[in-house]
Structure formats: structure tokens, C-alpha cells
Amino acid sequence: MIRFRQGRWSIACVCMVLGFMVAVQLRTTADMKGSVSYQRIEEITARLLNTEQERDGLKEELSALRKQKASEAGGSISEDIRLRAGLTPVEGEGIIVKLEDSSATAKAGENPNLYLIHDDDLLKVINELRAAGAEAISINGQRLIGTSEIRCAGPTLSVNNVRSAPPFEIRAIGDSKSLESAIRMRGGVAETLKVWGIQLEVSTSSSVYVPAYKGSTSHTYAHETEEKEGESK
Amino acid sequence: MILPILGLVAGFAIGYVFPVVIPLAYAKLFSVALLASLDSVFGGLRAALGGHFDNTVFISGFFTNALLAAFLVFVGDRLGIDLYYVALLTFGFRIFKNLAILRRHLLKKHGLERPHLPDE
């Protein structure tokens, strides 16, 4: 058919390069088709938001129905338990702690992370408040209950699996004087955080509103059981 | 003829096995380079059929065409001129022209072409 008199090997090399390029191009195109487009992401995000709203609405309806049922049954014990569990919004004497990232800029060579609020800073504040007898605590509208977490989530914090960014507002109901002094204690949380310029503002109030826990309270793994003597230690 | 085809198959296999993926930003450049090299190969085939194939011209053309095409598209991108389409048109046009010439060469060689008939 076609005969090349000269340079057969170099032509083979060129053909090899061509084959390589074709293969790479084929795979790149296949990859591009496989990835999700921005439009699709936006669409799905919108749908997720819608579903979340629907879920919240249903949850509210559910809690309203439960409340109705509880009031019909007239169980004062169950109401008390619900209050303890954080399922009802509460109000009372307490303090509001506002935390904001440091306004100071990090000097050259210094770690800017030191000037930001971290999950452990909040944990320390919460721990102090609990030690001082806080009865109900919320962070940025998220009620803290037995299973609540306070966790670093990139530049934000996650509480009850809901993310929020600074400034943080911690509301605590309890004896406002002891709560305030627990925060302002010498060598305590406020002083440590002030070293890094983190703005901490404490205000007491005779009526602090703490919202109810809005997440799910179902238990999948834990079952109620009899008390066992040997394993209680 | 067998050696170039073997090379093509080998290159294809290497490209398929090796995990090389062109980043999205350079996919355009790469496709233009590929088109340029395809054009060079068809041009080489046509030259070989015509009996005036020159190895040096072919190989230098293959690489410089691919690199130059990619470079031009890159510069065009920077300047806001869509040289991408220009390259696509030019190389596409040339590939079709070369293919037509190839076909007529082959037909003539096998004595299938009727004489004095205009191009279809």
C-alpha cells in the first residue's frame, strides 16, 4: 500500500505520541462528562433547602401536636422531663455571653489561628457555666442538650450539627451573679481569651430566653434496660 | 506500514493505562494540539502517497504544529481572542482536504477512478 523508505522508526515514534494524545484526550473528555456540573449542584442545593424547610415545618407541627397531647394527659412529670431534656423553650434569670474573633491582626510570624475563636474556647466557657449551675444553655440559638456537640467545622463551629460563624452568643439561665463571676473569675476563661484579644462581653438579664432543641431525639442503639449491679462502676 | 500502526497501538495503550489527566484549564490547548498533530499525520500520509515524503519535514512539522497551535490558543486566551475556533477551522479544513486527496490517490492507484470526472 504505502511505503516509507526512510525513517520508519521515527514515524513509529510519532504515531506513538499521537496514540498517547488520543488516549489521554479520550479519558479527559470522559472525565469531564462524569463530573457534576455547577447547575446540577445549585439545583440539588435548592432542593435540599426546600426539603429542610419542609422538615422543620413538620417538626414544629409534631411538637405542637405532642404538646397538645401532653396537656390533654395532664402529666406534670412528663412536662418536667421535657424541660430538663431541653425540648421546651425556657426563660429566666441568666447571662448572655457574646464572643467575637479578635480585632487585632496577627503580627508577622505569628499564627493567626491564635486570634480566632475555637471550639475548645467555647467548650471552656460552657464548662464554666455548667459548673456554676446553668440550667439551660444555647449557642447561637442552638439549645445544648445531652447529646449536643461543639465541634470545629472548618471556619465555623457546629453545634447540634448546625453550623454557625462568629460572633457567638451564649445564653445561659441560672443564678446570674454566680454565672457572671464564673466567667470573669481571675485566671478564668475571660482573662485567658482576652490575652489573644478575643472580644468577650458578658451581660446579665432578669429574663433570658433560651430556645428549645429542634433536632431529632430518636435513639437507634440505646435501649432501656434493668439496672445491673456489676457493670455500674 | 506495520510499524507506525504498532506505534499507534502502543501509544494508545500507554495513554490509557497511565493515569495522566489534562487539567480542565488546559483541555482546550490539548485538544487543539491533538488536532494539529492529526493534521500533520494526514499531511504526511498524503505526501507519502505523492512520493515526496520527507522525514525531517514530517517530524518537525508534527511537533512544531502541535506546540504552536497550543501556544497560539494560549496567547489568544490571554488576549481575549478566541483563536481556538480559528485553529479548529483551519486544521479541520486541512484534514478534510488531505483526506480527499488521499482518497483520490488511492482510487487512482487501484484504477477505480473514472477519468475526467469532477470532484464529487
Residues A25 and B34: beta-carbon distance below 8 Å:
yes
Q: What is the pLDDT of residue A10?
A: 78
Please answer yes or no on whether A14 and B58 come within 8 Å at the CB atom: yes
Residue A223 pLDDT level (bands cut at 50, 70, 90): confident
C-alpha B64/C-alpha A163 separation (Å) is: 54
Helix axes A38-73 and A76-85, enclosed angle (nearest 10): 150
Q: Which residue range is the domain that position B56 belongs to?
A: 25-109
CA distance A42 to chain B (A): 20
Instruction: Tell me whether residue A34 is in a domain.
Output: no
Please answer yes or no on whether B11 and A16 come within 8 Å at the CB atom: yes
Please answer yes or no on whether B1 and A6 come within 8 Å at the CB atom: no
CA distance B117 to chain A (A): 24
Q: What's the structural domain count of chain A?
A: 1
Q: Which residue range is the domain that position A172 belongs to?
A: 91-210
Instruction: Tell me whether residue A201 is in a domain.
Output: yes
Instruction: Tell me whether residue B17 is in a domain.
Output: no
In chain B, which residues have their Cβ closer than 8 Å to the Cβ of A38?
none
pLDDT greater than 50 at residue B23: yes
The ipTM assigned to this model is: 0.78
Instruction: Tell me whether residue B2 is in a domain.
Output: no
C-alpha B101/C-alpha B109 separation (Å) is: 12
Question: Between B26 and A136, whose confidence is greater?
Answer: A136
Instruction: Tell me whether residue A47 is in a domain.
Output: no
Residues B61 and A11: beta-carbon distance below 8 Å:
no
Q: Is A198 exposed, middle or buried (0-12, 13-18, 19+ CB in 10 A)?
A: buried
> Tens digits of per-residue pLDDT, A186-213?
888 888 888 877 888 889 988 899 988 8
Mean pLDDT over residues A64-82, rounded? 73
Q: Is B70 exposed, middle or buried (0-12, 13-18, 19+ CB in 10 A)?
A: buried
Cell of A112: 493567626
Residues A168 and A139: beta-carbon distance below 8 Å:
yes
Instruction: Tell me whether residue B49 is in a domain.
Output: yes
> Tens digits of per-residue pLDDT, A15-71?
888 888 888 888 877 777 666 677 888 889 999 999 999 999 999 999 888 888 777
Q: What's the structural domain count of chain B?
A: 1
Instruction: Tell me whether residue B117 is in a domain.
Output: no
Instruction: Tell me whether residue A60 is in a domain.
Output: no
Instruction: Tell me whether residue B12 is in a domain.
Output: no
CATH number at residue A151: 3.30.70.1880
- Cβ-based contacts under 8 A for chains A and B: 108
Interface of B with A (CB under 8 A): 1, 3-16, 20-22, 24, 27, 30-31, 33-34, 37-38, 41, 44-45, 48-49, 53, 55, 58-59, 62
Instruction: Tell me whether residue A75 is in a domain.
Output: no
Q: Give, in order, the Cα–Cα distances in Å from B1 to each of A4, A212, B7, B45.
A: 8, 80, 10, 11
